[in-house]
Structure 1
């Protein structure tokens, strides 16, 4: 598996984006600790880097083969010398390979990182689709006054 060397927690969104956009599942898997957990935007939970890659490899070979991500760091919360929480926006742009055709989806990602030696990796990640709480419809950031507001 590809070895990444992330020296600062704020590097994770860009590394995640690069691995996704290259459709490089070895680099994608290298972002995670061996026993990491991942919850995708549909609420599917997996544990272990093998299962995380196993969840993503088939979609990168099919419906997301021409997809692109754009990640934007929101914040980094350093908990200790070897633990941090990172929040970032992620816009997935699906292409012609997706059954629904080209479209975009915004999600908010929360990643818990831990440091092993001088490198940071993801210990847990949860991805939540941005939706209008009144209708349940997916929305894109900036297209509604406050799509995250609870009614």
Structure 2
């Protein structure tokens, strides 16, 4: 599912995640893209992004699903945009902690290329209580 416009990035990311398809996930990213996961692990390059995600999709997140909701799109010049979206991960029985939910906020920088839009940089932030560090779920969901 290529990204035909920045607004489609959250749905495309969720579709690749929910299919647990690393080829599909890789197709969303620029070859030299960067990714920061929810634990602060930084990687550069689509191969490294897939190497970060493949093991978790083969194990603890093999039965997970992701639901994303667009917050906004901020154009930053011709052919570039910043996309923010809420993400809710529903971990399943394959996770050592059992079924549970994790809410995060993703920021992605996209660039338009010949075949559509590609993610050049993405960062995923877990929603936590700043006083305790305890994970939080968005109360409006």
TM-score, scaled to structure 2: 0.96
1:49 equivalent in alignment to 2:46? yes
Deviation at 1:125, TM superposition (A): 0.1
Alignment of 1:113 with 2:110, yes or no, is yes
Match of 1:58? Answer: 55
Larger-Rg structure: 1
Question: Is the CA contact (8 Å cut-off) linking 2:2 and 2:12 kept in structure 1?
Answer: no
Q: Are 1:40 and 2:37 counterparts?
A: yes
Cα deviation 1:15-36 (Å, max 9, x = unaligned): 0000000001100011000000
| Residue of structure 2 in register with 1:148 after alignment | none
Asked if residue 127 in structure 1 is aligned to residue 124 in structure 2, the reply is yes
Q: Which runs of no fewer than 5 residues in structure 1 stay unpaired?
A: 144-151
Q: CA deviation at 1:81?
A: 2.0
Unaligned runs of 5+ in 2: none
Q: Which position in structure 1 is the counterpart of 2:7? A: 10
CA drift at 1:118: 5.3
CA distance in 1 between counterparts of 2:101 and 2:2 reads 30
CA distance in 2, matches of 1:5, 1:93: 24
Q: Which runs of 4+ in 1 moved over 2 A?
A: none
2:64 aligned residue: 67
Aligned to 1:100: 97
Higher relative contact order (CA 8 A, sep 6+): 2
Quote the offset at 1:7 in angstroms: 1.7
Provide the rounded CA distance (Å) in 1 between the counterparts of 2:104 and 2:95.
Answer: 18
- 1:117: Cα distance to partner? 2.4
Separation of aligned partners in 2, 1:84 and 1:134: 33
Q: How large is the Cα RMSD of the aligned pairs?
A: 1.0
Count of aligned pairs? 140
